[in-house]
Chains A and B, each alone.
Chain A
Amino acid sequence: MIGNDGNLLVSARGLTKVYRLGAIEAPALLGVDLEVKSGEFVSIVGPSGSGKTTLLNLIGALDSATGGELRVLGQDLSGLNRRERAELRLKYLGFVFQSYNLIPVLTARENVEFVLELQGVGRERSARAGEVLNELGLSEFADRRPLEMSGGQQQRVAVARAVASSPKLVLADEPTANLDGENAEILLHMMRRLRDEYGMTFIFSTHDPRVVEHAERVITLTDGRVAKDERHAPA
């Protein structure tokens, strides 16, 4: 699955996405060129409507591009059908959403277990879910349902779920948007630690300066194009 260049996880060339609503066309991405290598901690920033979430959705095989080429883990996404894209997401990608991340009727442990079950992990999934939660300092929440946790705690459990199967790439759409400063810091430190210890690659879409501070690479989108692609030392 990994492409020719073992380090290259995402490769986009002239990537475009145009939304069509009847006769109206709304371009979201207009020729994005991008490469993300394994182990990077990337933040995609830009004003609202700049195409951040669209780019993340395309990389996450949640949506299809209308033009250009996009390879994720060496796989040309344009050639994948709905089922194959779901398979790719399930096996190699992890997702953290802005809100409503967890299945409300399941406990934190069961939420993590659910993804492992989807991946075909057998009876050991409960123990493995417990290990992941413990590893991330969340064992005290293991038996709580989402409504019994704060927003920050829920997001941390969502990260635990996203990384439980050791995905190559974790995509996070505005993960700190609903969190206060303290919880945002805890979450970002957790993700940094996962990158450092397990070599996972993280790509965020955000306009939260706290996230940007933690990123090693910041890609700025403006009007559907990459305006800046900068590397800097994280805070």
Chain B
Amino acid sequence: MRFSTLKIAWRNLGRNRRRTLLGVSAIALGQFTLITVNGLNAGYFESMLRIVTGPLIGHVQVHQRGWREERAVDQYIDNLGRAESEIKTLPEVQSVSARIFSPALGAAGEPGREPAEAEMAMVVGVDVPVENREGGILASLPAEDLPGPGSVVLGKVLAQRLKLTPGKTVAVIGQDADGFPVSNIFLVKSLVKGGNEIVSRLGIVMPLKEAQDFLVLPDKAHEIVILGNDYRKAGELADRIKSLPGLKDAEILTWKEAFPVIVRMIGMKTWTDLIFLAILFIAAAAGIANTMMMSTFERTREFGMLLALGTRPGRLVRMITLESVILGLVGVAVGSILGAAVVYLTSQTGIDYGALSGIRGQEINFQGLTLSYIVYPKLEFRNVLFGVGAVMVTAFLASFWPAFLAARLEPTEAVRA
């Protein structure tokens, strides 16, 4: 590429600044939209992915077959200790957490004149240290608020219904695995509002051992949640767990199998990205094609003169193509900078969709998961590159016709035009 070709192409863009500005604006707007919308989607879907592949759901779940449909107390995994030990022998396993879920009734445990009003609840037995990590059921609680022997953590909604606050007691009535009634009074240590809707609305969360004792489920649990090294390799991990002798009759699901709707939603992101990429294509094509066609037709005599001087048609083609590419690059650079700036700023502050939609509260329940209305956009560099690539392809395509026309000009006719 000769320097003068570049110089002429660059300066030509300044000849009709308003037109160039319009072209640049169209491309910049397209790229800006692509980056910001994809940034929003990336932030939203990533938070969703973080939840479904985090400690709450795990990469792989183990249950007794049929438990997910009926959730009966007696549909437990037996020999829990052995199963956990076998799972922990797999090198890629990062953590193993067993849970118990059993329907119960909860009521304020304080003595009073009026009969206590009972509410439907769910006893949730958990591995407290594991669930206290980021993304776990008890993630938000400091050590002193965690449940222990004789104490529980209540889901916030349930606590409101039962008019219970930390420091009070809750009476719990349930059934053990053989159908016999069981009851006890527990101290409410704290309230929890986690990413699991059941816990938030119904949860009476206690240590796994406490739940096993209360519900007479020794060495048993309803669910084992396993986190591996990489959520993308959940299928391989599930296959290895299926081959363990202690779990040969269990139902073993990857996070994708456990939450197919959410997986489909996350998969929609690819389509959303493509739709906005297509919009960028159209914006860039309109901006560049219009600018280049107008610019080329206006310069017919100039091209004729250049051809008369001995300029080869190929050089005219390069000149026009380069002009188109520069126009595209300037537009895409402006759009990328503005888009990246907006995504960066909002990734710090977050965007409260709830507030924008006039919805009170910051969370939405979906598929049993509690998702935040506040989205923290995320800049995906690949989308910037896709945009640049799309604009470059468009720039080449949009310059093809005007360049072809210019290259075919007859100098004598063009000079007279």
A226 within 8 A of B: no
Q: Which of A144-196 contact B (CB under 8 A)?
A: none
- Stretch from A5-13, A33-41, A104-112, A130-138 forming part of the interface with B: A104-112
With beta carbons under 8 angstroms apart, the residue of B8, B308, B310 that contacts A91 is: B310
A141 within 8 A of B: no
With beta carbons under 8 angstroms apart, the residue of A83, A101, A105, A115 that contacts B8 is: A105
A117: which B residues are within 8 A, CB to CB? 2, 4
Question: By DSSP majority rule, is chain B's interface helix, strand, loop, or mixed?
Answer: helix
B312 within 8 A of A: yes
- Centre residue among B301, B306, B415 by max chain A CB count within 10 A: B415
Bitwise, B305-316 to A at CB < 8 A (1) or not (0) is 111111110000
Would B305 and A101 count as touching, CB distance under 8 A?
yes
With beta carbons under 8 angstroms apart, the residue of A60, A86, A89, A113 that contacts B4 is: A113
Would B14 and A89 count as touching, CB distance under 8 A?
no
Would A89 and B7 count as touching, CB distance under 8 A?
no
With beta carbons under 8 angstroms apart, the residue of B2, B12, B14, B411 that contacts A62 is: B411
Q: Which of A90-124 contact B (CB under 8 A)?
A: 90-91, 95, 97, 100-101, 103-106, 110, 113-115, 117-119
Q: Chain B's nearest CB lies how many Å from the CB of A70? A: 15
Known A63-B412, A117-B2: A105·B11 in contact at CB below 8 Å: yes
Would A62 and B8 count as touching, CB distance under 8 A?
no
A110 to B4, CA, bound (A): 8
A91 to B309, CA, bound (A): 9
Q: Which of B272-307 contact A (CB under 8 A)?
A: 301-302, 305-307
B15 within 8 A of A: yes
Would A62 and B412 count as touching, CB distance under 8 A?
yes
Q: Chain A's nearest CB lies how many Å from the CB of B38? A: 37
Q: Report the count of interface residues on A (CB-CB < 8 A).
A: 25
Closest to B314 in A: A83
B307: which A residues are within 8 A, CB to CB? 86
Would A97 and B305 count as touching, CB distance under 8 A?
yes
Would B15 and A105 count as touching, CB distance under 8 A?
yes
A57 within 8 A of B: yes
A125 to B171, CA, bound (A): 96
Closest to A117 in B: B4
Would A86 and B15 count as touching, CB distance under 8 A?
no
Q: Chain B's nearest CB lies how many Å from the CB of A37? A: 24
Would A97 and B310 count as touching, CB distance under 8 A?
no
Q: Chain A's nearest CB lies how many Å from the CB of B385? A: 31
A216 within 8 A of B: no
Would A87 and B11 count as touching, CB distance under 8 A?
no
A60 to B2, CA, bound (A): 26
Known A83-B312, A118-B311: A106·B305 in contact at CB below 8 Å: no
- Centre residue among B11, B15, B307, B310 by max chain A CB count within 10 A: B310
Closest to A93 in B: B310
With beta carbons under 8 angstroms apart, the residue of B8, B309, B312 that contacts A106 is: B8
Closest to B312 in A: A86
Chain A positions near chain B (C-beta within 8 angstroms): 57, 60, 62-63, 83, 86-87, 89-91, 95, 97, 100-101, 103-106, 110, 113-115, 117-119
Given contacts A83-B312, A90-B311, 18 further A-B contacts (CB under 8 A): A62-B411, A62-B412, A63-B412, A86-B307, A86-B310, A90-B309, A95-B305, A100-B301, A103-B305, A103-B306, A104-B15, A105-B11, A105-B14, A106-B11, A110-B4, A113-B4, A115-B309, A118-B310
Q: Can you list 22 A-B pairs with a CB-CB distance of less than 8 A? A: A60-B308, A62-B308, A63-B412, A86-B307, A86-B311, A86-B312, A89-B308, A89-B310, A95-B308, A95-B309, A97-B415, A100-B302, A103-B302, A103-B305, A106-B4, A113-B4, A115-B309, A117-B2, A117-B4, A118-B309, A118-B310, A118-B311
